[in-house]
Amino acid sequence: MTLAWDVLIPAYNAETSIAAAVTSALAQQPRPERVIVYSDGSTDETVSRARAAGADVIAATENKGVGHARQALVDHASAPWFLVLDADDRLLPDAGRLFERTLATRPDAWVLGFGATSDPAGSVPTSADPTACRAVTLRDLWLRNPFISSSALIRRDAAVRAGGFPPVRQLVDYAFWLELAEQPGAGGRLWNHSAPVTVRAIHGGTITGNVVGAVLAERRLLLDHAPTALSQLPAAVRNLLTGARLCVLWWRGLSRHVDYGRPASSYLPPADVVPGVLLPRVLRLLTLDGVRRALRRAAALARRAAAGQAPLHGRPSAVPTTKDVR
């Protein structure tokens, strides 16, 4: 099966990275039918550098946010498949070949998600098995989003039927995935593969570097989609899972907030995220530096033990691995 795809790049003041993003897309085999950049009111050289690199450019004069930018790009796309690449990310060499090989094994898929790396010298593993995909259900997504925005190949007609990307500034992709997974016929259409296909830029200045806003946005999404995602479970189990999911959301947000160099005291009170009285009181203990460091070290040791790695000595590094709070 031959892959026909567009690469869509929303950008705002991305003059230092846009050329590399465009070039990485145009270098793929099979080559995208178009690489389209939407400049969301940029005031720097984003537009000229994107055009010089070979992209088709939509130059908006007003900044309307990432959700509007993504949807404008989908509206301009015409290929059966598209990938939304962040302007500060780039596709790895041979990503397109893995996309095509994987699509041949899942021709009825709506989404083919893949992994990412932060290593600029990273590569797509030559041994990557295109059949090694895991099905992703609505409940899976609700519990934790496995998709990485710059690493997901999306069927355009399915995206359009789901209403496309919402015109919001935070958690745009997560809202889109949840809506897509709720569509009739979505079962067995969303797949995820662990092989990296992009190099991702990770920094606190990204849109979801505003951790407090992102956590509150995700809380709203979780509560909105819980009735459908957990519909086949008893009420007591639904309530238990919802409370646990919100606790995890609050804790991950706190960890990310601190990773970005912000004091724990400026983060959200637990009661703003988790309902009830007892759980917020317990969670408040986690804002204490000593408790938080001990828990993070225990988690790091558990992950290394599960992977068969030797224990770390000293404090484990706390480096965020995705741009969104998940």
CA atoms in the 13 A half-sphere facing the CB of 17:
19
Average pLDDT (115-141) is 94
Domain identity same for 109 and 239: no
Cβ atoms of residues 43 and 4 within 8 Å: no
315 in any annotated domain = no
Considering the domain architecture, whether residues 184 and 231 belong to the same structural domain is answered as no
- The residue out of 139, 170, 199 marking a domain boundary is 199
Q: Are residues 136 and 212 in the same domain?
A: no
Whether residue 20 contacts residue 90, with contact meaning beta carbons closer than 8 Å, is answered with yes
- The separation between CA 188 and the C-alpha centre of its own chain, rounded to angstroms, equals 20
Q: For residues 193 and 111, is the Cβ–Cβ distance under 8 A?
A: no
Same domain, 103 and 127: yes
What's the N-to-C CA distance of the chain in angstroms? 34
- C-beta of residue 82 within 8 angstroms of C-beta of residue 149: no
What's the pLDDT at 116?
96
- Whether residue 296 lies inside any domain: the answer is no
State the Cα–Cα distance between residues 287 and 197, nearest whole angstrom: 36
Q: What is the pLDDT of residue 104?
A: 97
Residues 194 and 79 in one domain: yes
97 and 193 within one domain: yes
Compute the distance between CA of residue 113 and CA of residue 196 in angstroms, rounded to an integer: 10
Angle at 138 between CA 177 and CA 206, to 5 degrees: 35
Closest CA to 42 of 68, 65, 16, 60: 60
Mean pLDDT of 236-260: 92
Containing structural domain, residue 241: 207-287
Q: What is the pLDDT of residues 191-201, one digit of tens each?
A: 999 999 999 98
Quick check: is 164 in a domain?
yes
Q: Is residue 321, in this structure, part of any structural domain at all?
A: no
| CA of residue 138 relative to chain centroid, distance | 16
pLDDT bracket for residue 207 (50, 70, 90): very low
| CB 27, CB 94: distance < 8 Å | no
Q: Which residues pair with 34 in a beta bridge?
A: 6
136 and 58 share one domain? yes
Q: Considering Cα of 215, then 216, then 217, then 223, what sign does the dihedral take?
A: positive
Mean per-residue pLDDT for 179-196?
Answer: 97
* pLDDT: which is higher, 287 or 102: 102
> Are residues 179 and 252 located together in one domain of the fold?
no
What's the pLDDT band for 203 if we cut at 50, 70, 90? low
99 and 178 in a single domain? The answer is yes
Rounded average pLDDT over 125-140: 95
Mean pLDDT to the nearest integer, 125-132: 93
Whether residue 143 sits in one domain with residue 228: no
Task: HSE, CB side, 13 Å, CA atoms: give it for residue 305.
Answer: 6
Tokens of 54: 């070979």
Could you tell me if 25 and 101 lie in one domain? yes
- How does pLDDT run across 8-25, given as a tens digit for each residue? 999 999 999 999 999 999
**193 and 211 assigned to the same domain:** no
Decide if 318 is inside a domain: no
| Alpha-carbon span 152 to 113, nearest angstrom | 4
- Where residue 308 falls among pLDDT bands split at 50, 70, 90? low
Q: Is 184 exposed, middle or buried (0-12, 13-18, 19+ CB in 10 A)?
A: exposed
Residue 264 has pLDDT above 50, yes or no: yes
Using a pLDDT cut of 70, give the percent of the chain over it: 87
Q: Cα-flanking dihedrals φ and ψ of residue 38, to 5°?
A: -105, 110
Residue burial 302-311, b: 16+ Cβ < 10 Å; e: rest? eeeeeeeeee
